[in-house]
Amino acid sequence: MGDARDIREAVEEELSRDLLLDAAGITVRNVNRNVALSGTVPSYPQYRQAAEAARRVAGVSSVHNHLKVVLPPGDYRDDAMLTTAASNALAASTAVPEGVEATARHGNLTLTGAVKYPSQRAAAESAVAGLTGVRNISNEIGFVFDVAPGDVNALVKDALEEHAGPLDDSRVVTGISGNTVTLIGHVRTQAQRDAVVRAAWRGHAIMAVVDQIEITG
């Protein structure tokens, strides 16, 4: 599919064929295969569906979704009602962990909290996307990662054994607080010390390594 007109017309046709969309209020522009959608749709699911439909068209490099959700009069919900509905939807989803919260303001939902996996973040947005009264979703959920003490200890042990000399009595223990690992003990050489510190940094979710290892020679 070559020129801008072809791609624009193809996107318009795809939007009009999509049974989940009311495409009457959507305008399509194409500049160098970058498609921009503007205009209005009557629900947030249709806002998302329009972008997905445009991405299905051959030749489209990117989709910029500038659509606005203009709710039908019967679909408006006040902030308290929408916040409650969103909170209930998050709590009912087995894919969303505890601690994720929703706040509504003029139909715009903001999701906050922390999860371990991107799939949980996406699940939270999906759980509330279809609620009546949603105009937009701002997903501000962050990530928190747990350190696995056993993994860090194994990495440190392997590093010590790999760089051990004859009759080596080197010993390093790890202390873990949050995402910080503290290394305490003694080694024979600087090379061993460096190897242990590098090994600790390879642990899952490590954000800081405190080196308190002594070199005994």
Q: What is the pLDDT of residues 49-96, one digit of tens each?
A: 999 999 999 999 999 999 999 999 999 999 999 999 999 999 999 999
Record the pTM.
0.66
Q: Name the CATH topology of 4-69.
A: Histidine-containing Protein; Chain: A; (3.30.1340)
Please report, rounded to a whole number, the percentage of residues in the chain having pLDDT higher than 90: 71
pLDDT band for position 193 (cuts 50, 70, 90): very high
Q: According to DSSP H, which parts of 103-148 are helical? A: 118-129
Q: 73-143 has which CATH code? A: 3.30.1340
Domain ranges of the chain: 4-69, 73-143, 149-215
Alpha-carbon gap, residue 11 to 30, rounded angstroms: 9
Quote the tokens at residue 122. 């996406």
Question: What is the predicted pLDDT for the residue at 176?
Answer: 85
Q: How confident is the model at residue 217 (pLDDT cuts 50, 70, 90)?
A: confident
> Is the distance from CB of 182 to CB of 212 less than 8 angstroms?
yes
95, 98, 145, 99: which is closest to 125 by C-alpha? 95
Fold of 149-215: Histidine-containing Protein; Chain: A; (3.30.1340)
**Which one-letter amino acid corresponds to residue 26?**
I
CA distance 195 to 198: 5
Beta strand pairing status for 136-139 and 171-177? Answer: unpaired
Decide whether 4-69 matches 149-215 in CATH topology. Answer: yes
Averaged over 164-188, what is the pLDDT? 87
pLDDT at 2: 53
